[in-house]
Amino acid sequence: MGSLKKEGDIFMFLHLGNGHMLAEKEIVLIGDLESTTDSETTEEFLQISDEEGFIVDYADGEAKSFVLTGETIYLSMISSKTLAKRINRPIAKNGRGF
């Protein structure tokens, strides 16, 4: 991410679990891993992405959802529904919610 601005600026992040956070402005899609892998096309996309090294597993093999950015797919053990709820909460650069 870019450099921090002056004191008091607010940066929006999504907590993906296990202490990992992602800037909300980078998020393209939040998906439910179980329901989307029913699709052959999505399964193939995820398989190729994994083979090419574009998947980062923050779920320690217990993935329930994935977060797609412009360059990377992040796996999370947190449900897509919970992640979607979290995206509406601001987090200050000190990591505390409002």
Nearest to 63 by CA among 16, 27, 21, 28: 16
* Domain range list for the chain: 27-86
17 pLDDT higher than 80: yes
2 pLDDT higher than 70: no
pLDDT tens, residue by residue, 49-85: 999 999 999 999 899 999 999 999 999 999 999 998 8
- For residue 68, the cross-strand partners are 29, 73
pLDDT at 9: 59
38 pLDDT higher than 70: yes
Q: Report the alpha-carbon distance of residue 73 to residue 56 in Å, rounded.
A: 6
- Residue 5 φ/ψ, nearest 5 degrees: -95, -160
